[in-house]
Structure 1
């Protein structure tokens, strides 16, 4: 993977020489998501009854943005009528990755389910951030829609008013669906607003 990146620097220079050093050291490896942008397990780690699980790195600008598909437990909010597959956008305060797909999902468990290192974001429509679906295939289609609508300027507050206060993106609402999946422990998790 590094070799293709070296070709992006045709003229010798500091970046080219440094990338050659990275290429030549086998200990300088990328994780699955950094290298391939997606990880999949047929028998997932976080998915209900170890069902299929998919995680995609969408962007690493500002924070880390992931698309996630997994099966949720019966009784998950809104999962009536057999809709037990969740496609969801996750904004993470920490990177999630690993050298194997299983490591990626263990890292996600630690970061989001245990340490609660996720952040809410804004949506213009409810299905901009998540969708409950009847099948894994339907959840993949929903995730593709979420990704096609992804625009970081619509997902975070980045403009300020004259007083310096952050403004909500136009026609948006704060999406807290991640709280349904990962939980939120107000006593043991410091919220920074």
Structure 2
């Protein structure tokens, strides 16, 4: 038996209502360029809109002019998607509350998640959206996941409930030591003062 090895998310497809609501939200609120439009090839009575979330991958939306918006929260039963998290820069994150407030969109306010900052709000159809901003940049040649796994190990070893900034900083230091060479024989912390 062998695995089917994943190499990233290709796309996520959501059920939308009318076409214009999808364009106005994904491009007009979240700034994702509307890049492709065709019928749903499995149901030609629906549209299939494609948006670039900023990393060249895709978020797509099936639309139908006969479906109406539902403002209640989408289901969170087992097997359902709880929310979609979108990566944003720190500069953008600091503007989100004001920009949502200007549109009258209710939101959670800032949530400190230890390794990232988050804010939550619903799309026009009741689907929960999270805008998330990492509190760290990984060392050159490493990924956010590399830092997270090292920070997790440090958190567990320390007996802490969740990852904090100290775990992230120490994880980054470990990764730099592991992945970047130095001419020094002793790379331990020192105090030259």
TM category (shorter chain) comes to under 0.3
Identify which of structures 1 and 2 has the higher relative contact order when contacts are C-alpha pairs closer than 8 Å and 6+ apart: 1
- The TM-score, its normalising length taken from structure 1, stands at 0.22
Larger Cα-atom Rg: 2
